[in-house]
Amino acid sequence: MAGKAVEKRRPEVDPRDEPSAAWGWHGSFPKATRIAGWVSAIILLVMIKGNHENNTENVWLVGLALFLVLLLVLDIRKQRTAWRK
Q: What is the pLDDT along the chain (85 residues), one digit of tens a residue?
A: 555 555 555 566 666 666 665 566 656 778 889 999 999 999 999 999 988 888 899 999 999 999 999 999 999 888 877 666 5
The pLDDT of residue 71 is: 95
The pLDDT of residue 51 is: 86
CB proximity list for 69: less than 8 A, separation 6 or greater: 41
Across 32-85, the runs of DSSP E, i.e. the strands, are: none
pTM: 0.65
The pLDDT of residue 50 is: 85
The pLDDT of residue 13 is: 62
Domain positions in the chain: 29-82
